[in-house]
Structure 1
Amino acid sequence: MKALDSLYEAQKIAFSPFVFQTVYTMLELGIMDELYEERDGLTVTEIASRKNMTEYGVRVLVEMAKCADILELNDDKYSLSKIGYFLTRDEMTKVNLMFTQDICYKGLFHLKDAIVHGKPEGLKEIGPWETIYQGLSILPEQLRKSWFEFDHHYSDNSFGEALKIIFQHNPKHIYDIGGNTGKWAIASTKHDPSVRVSIFDLGVQLKVAKANIDAIAEIKDRVDFNERDMLNPASEIPAGADVYWMSQFLDCFSEGEIEAILLKIKKNMKPDATIFIMETFIDDQRFKAAEYSLVATSLYFTAIANGNSKMYSSSALKYIIEKAGLETVKEHRLHEDRFHTILEVKLPK
């Protein structure tokens, strides 16, 4: 890259918050949707008239968006570029953007302190908890919506293929560790009318899961709820499971904490039981956009969620599994959703 091009790229980074807030504002004001509908473009005057805005307000936004290649300008008419199209209509991009705005933006101001202190120093911008998980169910409505849409976007589409893999083992009893809102328990019990599921999670999360599952008469008698703080050294996972399921759960913990959780499971694990760990590994992504999103998400964990976890590579997690005295016997790369890998883990023979 030439020096002048590098200088330009450096300015894009220096002013990146300006561009982000420009896009967020244009989405919120409906300007991006208006331009999506008008493929031939609109003038500043036309946008201002349609959105009941001043021409000044429209102009400062569209000029920044054009400089950032989000909009194109021809014959005084602004239209969406391909980048603008994805910002307006691509589901992954919109989920990522709203998660960044509502959950991460202010908290990332405290990233340096979080790195120095090893604590989620940015979490105070959202609530007074030690980790975000303690407050998920009581977040303000817009923040809760953005958090869960982000979380579910990277898991829900994987469940169909994941169910086929897990139920090849014909489990009678599944332990869903970190069950969150109960979506996996619902999917499992609907998939197999005889399977039982035990959810293990923090109390605030179990309340949400229980409300969701109690509303479904045909499955509620096959799901039970067990309050556990997996970081409490005294907490245990009882015997009895054929399958232990952890979906996007272990990335919420440090390497040492992951090892401790695996040791809790191992302690009372039946010899023929299987642990299935589903994650979005940074080294298993086929598309640069997905890898970029995951690596950025690590900074959310650092500054806001808990201060010590990240999105891991598959090699890093397999190393922790080995340290815990367990064996990764198979890797399942899911094809339908393109993001996830499931590690199949057992006791060594």
Structure 2
Amino acid sequence: MQNKTFSPPGQRAFAARFEAQKIAFGPVVFQCVHYAWKRGVLQALADAGEAGRSVDELAATGRWSAYALKVVLESCLSAGVVALAEGRYQLDKTGWCVLSDEITRINFDFVQDVCYQGLFDLGRSLDEQRPHGLKALGDWPTLYEGMATLPEPARSSWFAFDHHYSDTSFPEILPDVLASAPRRVMDIGANTGKFACALLAYDPKVRVHLVDLPQQLALAEPRLIDAGVRERASLHAVDMLDATRAFPANMDLVWMSQFLSCFSEPVIATILARAAAALAPGGQLLILDTLWDRQRYDIASYCLINTSPYFTAMASGNSKVYESGDYVRLAQAAGLRLLTTRDGIGYCHSLLRFVQDEA
């Protein structure tokens, strides 16, 4: 892996100290900005335009007390979300992002509704490699067992987060999936069946085998029926943590999208070994995932790196957003060889194509 730093070149000690304080008070700022956004304060400033509004003018609407406005807007000011000129607050560029940038809003909702309370138990989760923060949402061993009954608003925020990152890549990636002209495709970690539906609609000759927990397949089947492709789809309920459960055999192509990051390295090793064993002669395995070391921009790496604590505290207790080298190493141990890598798919995805290693 290449050397990596997120600090500006030549950063001075005083600036570094300021950055450290931003980290220390980060949760406080997050909640204040979240309040200002969700309660309409930022929108009121956006509506006021360059003229801005004073605290008294905002309080006069009766929507917020002057006290609440002062506390929240001063915190937003410190974060560059708003600007203050001659006693009047205006929406700054970062505030416009919170209001109008889709990925910012999705990330905000995901952190607030899914992760925030549970992250208090991150330390214990790291030490014991169990998702102790998950109790903030429900009583399940991992998040995946509870996905079908996840309470709102966590459910909507989780699916918005997951689908926004994955769905943007589907139209672009389908030609890659079909490049080797597969007829039997296995979608491991099929989730709600969105990819399977897209692939089946794209190529009428393909048959897809969806492999996932029974709870997830129960969500996928109605989608397949609604899309009119159920007759070309087979559903296989498999607990990925059970290394003795083989996958359906004789597959031309095995597909995994944003899936392996849900598991620890030892479990990934068993999944890849079973996937390799399921391939027909000449078959290929494709992994589409968000790999933090293969991002063009630091902003993408930053978001991906800081998604890993969600996996620790909320999802599984022992998984993360991986580097590409982790997957390559584990695939090699399963008898697979990296054939090609393609980056820049969708928002931040890379596609790793593996073949059986004949050496």
TM class, shorter-length: over 0.9
Aligned partners of 2:168 and 2:347 also within 8 Å? no
Where does 1:1-349 land on structure 2 (aligned, <5 Å)? Answer: 1-40=11-50, 41-50=52-61, 52-217=63-228, 219-335=229-345, 337-349=346-358
Between 1:192-201 and 1:9-18, the stretch displaced more is 9-18
Superposed displacement of residue 81, structure 1: 1.4
Looking at structure 2, the residues matched to 51 and 185 of structure 1 have their Cα atoms a distance apart, in angstroms, of 50
Looking at structure 1, the residues matched to 296 and 49 of structure 2 have their Cα atoms a distance apart, in angstroms, of 31
Superposed displacement of residue 338, structure 1: 4.0
Looking at structure 1, the residues matched to 45 and 235 of structure 2 have their Cα atoms a distance apart, in angstroms, of 48
Superposed displacement of residue 141, structure 1: 2.6
Residue identity opposite 1:18 in structure 2: V
Superposed displacement of residue 56, structure 1: 1.5
Unaligned regions of 5+ residues in structure 1, if any? none
Residue identity opposite 1:211 in structure 2: P
Looking at structure 1, the residues matched to 354 and 13 of structure 2 have their Cα atoms a distance apart, in angstroms, of 50
Aligned partners of 1:26 and 1:32 also within 8 Å? yes
Superposed displacement of residue 9, structure 1: 2.4
Superposed displacement of residue 39, structure 1: 2.1
Residue identity opposite 2:142 in structure 1: T
Superposed displacement of residue 235, structure 1: 1.0
Name the SS of the counterpart of 1:265 in structure 2: helix
Name the SS of the counterpart of 2:70 in structure 1: helix
Residue identity opposite 1:345 in structure 2: F
Q: What percentage of aligned pairs have identical amino acids?
A: 39
Name the SS of the counterpart of 2:250 in structure 1: coil
Looking at structure 1, the residues matched to 278 and 209 of structure 2 have their Cα atoms a distance apart, in angstroms, of 15
Residue identity opposite 2:81 in structure 1: I
Q: TM-score, normalised by structure 1?
A: 0.96
Between 1:17-26 and 1:34-43, the stretch displaced more is 34-43
Looking at structure 2, the residues matched to 36 and 319 of structure 1 have their Cα atoms a distance apart, in angstroms, of 50
Aligned partners of 2:254 and 2:286 also within 8 Å? yes
Looking at structure 2, the residues matched to 334 and 246 of structure 1 have their Cα atoms a distance apart, in angstroms, of 17
Name the SS of the counterpart of 2:168 in structure 1: helix
Looking at structure 1, the residues matched to 77 and 48 of structure 2 have their Cα atoms a distance apart, in angstroms, of 17
Residue identity opposite 2:354 in structure 1: V
Between 1:52-61 and 1:99-108, the stretch displaced more is 52-61
Aligned partners of 2:137 and 2:151 also within 8 Å? no
The two structures, once aligned, show a CA RMSD in angstroms of 1.4
Name the SS of the counterpart of 2:352 in structure 1: strand
Superposed displacement of residue 3, structure 1: 4.0
Looking at structure 2, the residues matched to 203 and 51 of structure 1 have their Cα atoms a distance apart, in angstroms, of 50
Name the SS of the counterpart of 1:229 in structure 2: coil
Unaligned regions of 5+ residues in structure 2, if any? 1-10
Aligned partners of 1:175 and 1:245 also within 8 Å? yes
Name the SS of the counterpart of 2:280 in structure 1: coil
Looking at structure 1, the residues matched to 353 and 62 of structure 2 have their Cα atoms a distance apart, in angstroms, of 53
Residue identity opposite 1:106 in structure 2: Q
Structure 1: 4+ residue segments shifted above 6 A: none
Looking at structure 2, the residues matched to 66 and 42 of structure 1 have their Cα atoms a distance apart, in angstroms, of 14
Q: What is the aligned length?
A: 347
Looking at structure 1, the residues matched to 12 and 53 of structure 2 have their Cα atoms a distance apart, in angstroms, of 35
Name the SS of the counterpart of 2:255 in structure 1: strand
